[in-house]
Every structure is written in structure tokens, then in C-alpha cells.
Structure 1
Amino acid sequence: MDTRTALLAAAAALLVAGAVGAVAAPDALTDPRETDEPPGHVDVAGATVAPGEIRGETAELRLGTDLEHRGGTVENVTVRHRAIGAESGLLVDETTVDVGDADFEGQRTVNGTITVEREGGYRIETVVFADGERRTSRTTRVSGVAALTPDYADTRVGFTDGSVWPTVAVSVADAGDGRATLSVSVSVTNRGDGASEDVDLRLYLRQAESNVIAADATETVGTVRPGRTDTVTATVEVPEGYNYYVDAALFDDDVLVDETQGVANLNPQETITADETVRDVEFSVEDFERGEDGAAGGDDAGAPDRDASDDSTPGFGPLVALVALVVAALTARRRR
């Protein structure tokens, strides 16, 4: 037997022996790709919700989902978020994040965003899918979305909330000829971590009984250091003898960011407090008419003239007298 024939015979013998062994012991031959690794499993370990971009009518919510993976690779993983109205039960927004194959060890955060209306509360339902098959879910509830401040009104400067130190303080700088010059001091505080930018302070002085605007003023609140309180002062002129509400507001680029109220009691017989009015204060519109120069009142503006009506008799005087005479005549005739 030559060498070639011997090699062929040996190869054939090995093939026959391998086939017999595979039949006798099927576990003897294994796929090299197969391992003892357990099947892959993915779960939600935690979920967070944080405000994103806040607009006038809507708010963006940033969702963070902590995925925990164990075992072998889980293919084609996706995370679906749904925002459902807490009261209506209606679907408000939905988004799906493609994660891909989960082959990492431990946990990984998957980020997503949804947009909701800036009112009410919501139920955020997060569902994890693997190859289109639902694997796990998590529900998070969100409330108080209306309290989120829009980005265009996001400033840390506001009126000071003090129990003793007044937010709005009013003093009389000058008085005479029926007019009073008031000095209005308003306290503002920077509650942020950095220096503030300029904002506008606008003041209205309203006569307490009529709500007529007697005077107004605008001042600029300059830079306020973080954690500091500054006082801004404005001067206004109003008719004396009346009580006034002092309405103060802060505007950032014509956006109202904060408001407060004080009072100015110039009537010695009656007083008012914030959000409270006294109704028996006599009022004269003439004192608050605008002159040609735009100022309230005219040359003889002052306290109302109450003598004009003292000498007059209310009702229809002559007509009442005539009726009385007729009644007397009829009575006398009957007696005869």
C-alpha cells in the first residue's frame, strides 16, 4: 500500500470514529460560540424627572431612566415614555429612545424628553422593550408644573420678604397747597448665586376708594450682588388728604417677575392696610384730573370742597311746599 492510500484510509477511519462518538455522546461536540452565560435581563433601576426648557404655555421635562443589565446581551432595546394627564387620563406626549444592544455591565442612564402643558399634573409611564417585546415598566407622577418659572421670566431678583423690615416704605418729603410729595422706598433681594442684571421697578399709587391712579413712577434696579438686599427710591406727587395703595412690580424686559403692595395713609380720619379698604372716604375726581403738563390736579387742586353742598336742600323743595298747601286746603274744607 502506497503512502497516499494509507493517508486516505486513516482520514476515513477518523471520520467514522467522530461520527460514532457524536451519536454516542451528543454533548461531546459543542458550538464554540455557546457559553455558560445566563440569558440577558434588563430592568429599570430608577427614574428621575427634571425641568428643561420652560415656555409660556408648555414645559419640557427631562427624563432619566437607569437601566440595569444582567447576563447575556439583550438585543434591540428601546425605552418609551408617555405623559398622561393625571385628571383627564389623556395622552399628552410620547417619545421613544433607541438604546441598541444592552451588553454593558451594571447600570446605564438613558435620557429622554417630553413636552407637557404648564398646568396640572401628569403620570409618566416608562416602558422598556427588547426586540419589540415588553420587558419592564416604571410609573412616575409629576405635579405642580404650573409653578415652574418660564425661562423669559427667570430672574432671582425679587421683593424682600421681611417680618419687620418693610418691603415698601412711604414717607412724606414735602406737603403744601393741597399736594404731597412722597418718597417711596422699595427693598429688593437677589436670591441667586450670581450678580443680577438690571430690572425695572414700576410704581402705581391708587386712591383707596376709587382705584384712580394718582401717580406713577419707574426706576431702574441696578446690579445686586448675590444674597444682598438693596433699596430703590422713587419720588411721586399726589393730592393730600387721601389714602393710597402703592402697587410695586418688577419687570425684566417687560416681563412681570414679582409684585408687592404697600399703603400711604394721608387721611388723618381713615386708614387702610394692604388688601383692605375703608369705604366712607369722601372722594373728588377733580383732584386727580390730569393737567396739560400731565400732572395730577390743577392750580386749585386740593382737598375736596365740602361747603358747596352744605347750604342746599336735598329733594324738590318748591314742589313739596305746593303739595303741602293743597293737602292743608283739602283738610280744612272737609272740616267745614
Structure 2
Amino acid sequence: MDRTKTLAAGAAGVVVVALLVAVLVPGALSAPRAATQPGNVDIADTTIQPQAVGGQIVALQVNTTLRHRGNPSPNVTVRLRAIDAESGLLETTRTVEVGELADDRERVVPATLSVAREGGYRIETVVYQDGQRVDTGRQEVRGLAALVPEYARTPIQFADETTLPPLGVSVQAATESQATLDITAQLINRGSVQSDDVEVSVIARQADSNLVADRDAADVATIEPGRTTGTTLTVSVPNNYNYYVDGVLKKDGVIVDTTRTAVNLNPSERIAVNETRQSVELEVSDFERDRRPDRDEERVEAGGESDSATPGFGVPVAALALLVGGLLARRRTA
């Protein structure tokens, strides 16, 4: 009889402890935390490309690919920042509300950043989930000045071949004080359609004083795709001086291409054009991501337990204690 009382008292003690744990410890009898925590969201990749190019402003299309794993993740937000690569000053920022991400898949989040068409920028991408930063990445874009505004785009350019200089100069007539020059501008259509209406002009500048001696302009005839044509213009300048001749190509009043050559009319002194040019091209760096540990791993390190562990005795222990207590009580009454 004493043994039966002892077992019954022990089972009752287990039941009492289990009930106290269920009351005092939050989640002791609830489902594992891993079943209720939001899933993991990070940046898989980003791409940057010019969307619209103006005279002073360029709109950059930034596509951020988010990767989601696990349970649904509500309240996801993407923040983009454009920071001047030289000064480090913030140029512009944009926030996109993504909403909830579900299922194990990727989702592209598009956004547009408008920046000045000069220099370069560092584009930073930050992902938030419920206001908490979960991932960060960055990418650089340089050479925006090389982008041609939409209003200035034309397939017509000055030809620049070894055997065919962009500006060819010949003396039409000359006296002791005056020289008349025929300047032929060689233009090429590098596009796939007929040329637009463009205008070519030449400006003759005296080499020493840089004063404009004369100028001329003419409309360019239609140029078929891939073809080259010459447009001849005439200038009259004082003889026995050297000149720089600038060629300017315009579309709707906008300069789209330029070139320069030298004309030596002074027999005792010669000049030449400096052919050194600095090429500027649009460059976009590879995407760099700040690797951050998953929030599940952070919780394991901080709490010393995994999300799948249940604090306290849990449901199985409580049920077992109740079952044992019931059997013992039944045996006692029997």
C-alpha cells in the first residue's frame, strides 16, 4: 500500500510540475518556433541599366532579385540609395514596398533611380523584413557622361578611317593675302536605317590667336545604312597663317559629333592636331553582397538552443504523466 501511495504521489508531482511549466513558461505546450517564424529573405542578384537618358539626368533601372526560403515573410521592403562615388554624398534614395513573400522562389523587384548624367555612383541595396535589416549589397556604375541623350541619338558620325580622314582640305584659290579652302566632311551611317536630318558645319580658327576666321554650314543628304558620303563646305581665310578647322555635326541644333584637323598655310611654321583622346565608357561593376548569418542561426547562437526545441517538458511528458496518474488512481480504487 505504501508503494502504491508513493507511485501515486510521484505521478501527481510530475503532473503538477508539468502544469506549472505550462503556465509559467511561454510556449511550453505550443508548437515549435520554427513553424511560426518568418522565412529567410536575401538578395540573389541585382542588375543596373539606363532606362531614360536626358541632357542632365539619367534614369537607372535597378532590378533586385530577392530569394525567399521557408515560411511566409510579411512586410518585406527594399531600399535603394545612390551615393556619389567621389564625394560620398547621398544623391537620391528610393523605397519599394514588396509585401509578403511566400514559397521557396525568387522575385524580381524593379525600381528607378534618377541621378545626374556625370561621374559615377555606388548603388546600395538594403532589404528589410518587419523593419529589421536582413541583407545588404552594393554595385558601382561609372561613365554616365558617355550615355548619349535620346534627343541627340543619330547613326550619322564623322568617318575616321586611315585612308579617309573625317575632314579633307584642298585649296580652291589663293592670293598673297587670301586663301579659299574647300573642306570635305566625310560622314558615315553606322545604323540600320536611313539617316536623320543632320547639319554639318566647319569653323576655321587662327592657330595663334584662336580667332574665328570663317565658317560654313550645310545640310547633309540622306545616307543609306553602312554608306559614307562627303559634304563639301567652303571657307575663305587670310593667307600665310596656320588654322585649326573644327567639324561639328548637329541634329535639331544638338551637337552629336565633332572632329578637328590642321591647315598649314604658313610655310615657315607647321602645326598638328593633338590626337590624344580620353575614352569614357559606361561601366557597371559586379554585385557585392554583405554576407549575413541567417536569422535562425543568430537565434541559435544567442539562445543556446535551436528553434525546433520546445522549452519545458512539452506535450509528450505532460500526457505521459496524466496517463500514469490515471492508471495508478484506477489501480488504487480497484
TM-score for both structures, normalised by structure 2: 0.66
Deviations 1:210-259 (A, max 9, x none): 33322210011233333332221112333333332211111122222221
Which whole-Å CA distance do the structure 1 matches of 2:49 and 2:89 have between them? 22
What 5-or-longer segments of structure 2 have no aligned partner? 1-18, 23-29, 276-334
Q: Which residue of 2 aligns with 1:281?
A: none
Q: Which residue of 2 aligns with 1:78?
A: 77
Equivalent positions of 1:35-54 (< 5 A) are 40-54=39-53
* Aligned Cα root-mean-square deviation (Å): 3.0
Change in CA separation of 1:86 and 1:241 when aligned onto 2, cut-off 3 Å: closer
Which whole-Å CA distance do the structure 2 matches of 1:246 and 1:94 have between them? 46
What 5-or-longer segments of structure 1 have no aligned partner? 1-22, 277-336
Q: Which residue of 2 aligns with 1:222?
A: 221
Q: Which residue of 2 aligns with 1:61?
A: 60
Which whole-Å CA distance do the structure 2 matches of 1:104 and 1:253 have between them? 53
One-letter code aligned to 1:215: D
Report deviation, 1:198: 1.3
Specify the SS of the correspondent of 2:272.
Answer: coil
Equivalent positions of 1:240-319 (< 5 A) are 240-275=239-274
- Which has the larger displacement, 136-145 or 187-196? 187-196
Change in CA separation of 1:214 and 1:88 when aligned onto 2, cut-off 3 Å: closer
Equivalent positions of 1:125-274 (< 5 A) are 125-176=124-175, 178-274=177-273
Change in CA separation of 1:47 and 1:235 when aligned onto 2, cut-off 3 Å: same
CA contact (8 A) 1:73 1:102 kept: yes
CA contact (8 A) 1:37 1:71 kept: no
Report deviation, 1:176: 4.6
Q: Which residue of 1 aligns with 2:312?
A: none
Report deviation, 1:50: 0.8
Larger radius of gyration: 1
Q: Which fold has the larger relative contact order, with Cα–Cα distance below 8 Å and residues 6 or more apart in sequence?
A: 2
Which whole-Å CA distance do the structure 2 matches of 1:152 and 1:230 have between them? 23
Change in CA separation of 1:228 and 1:70 when aligned onto 2, cut-off 3 Å: farther
One-letter code aligned to 2:235: V
Percent identical among aligned pairs is 45
Which whole-Å CA distance do the structure 2 matches of 1:110 and 1:193 have between them? 34
Specify the SS of the correspondent of 2:165.
Answer: coil
Change in CA separation of 1:245 and 1:86 when aligned onto 2, cut-off 3 Å: closer
Which whole-Å CA distance do the structure 2 matches of 1:221 and 1:196 have between them? 9
Specify the SS of the correspondent of 2:145.
Answer: helix
Specify the SS of the correspondent of 2:164.
Answer: coil
Report deviation, 1:94: 0.6
One-letter code aligned to 2:170: S
Which whole-Å CA distance do the structure 1 matches of 2:199 and 2:76 have between them? 52
Which whole-Å CA distance do the structure 2 matches of 1:154 and 1:242 have between them? 37
Deviations 1:7-28 (A, max 9, x none): xxxxxxxxxxxxxxxx9xx9xx
One-letter code aligned to 1:49: I
Deviations 1:49-92 (A, max 9, x none): 11122223332211011111222221122111011222322221
Which whole-Å CA distance do the structure 2 matches of 1:215 and 1:142 have between them? 42
Report deviation, 1:37: 10
Report deviation, 1:35: 11
Number of aligned residue pairs: 248
Which whole-Å CA distance do the structure 1 matches of 2:47 and 2:225 have between them? 29
One-letter code aligned to 2:99: G
Which whole-Å CA distance do the structure 2 matches of 1:66 and 1:270 have between them? 63
TM-score for both structures, normalised by structure 1: 0.65
- Which has the larger displacement, 190-199 or 131-140? 190-199
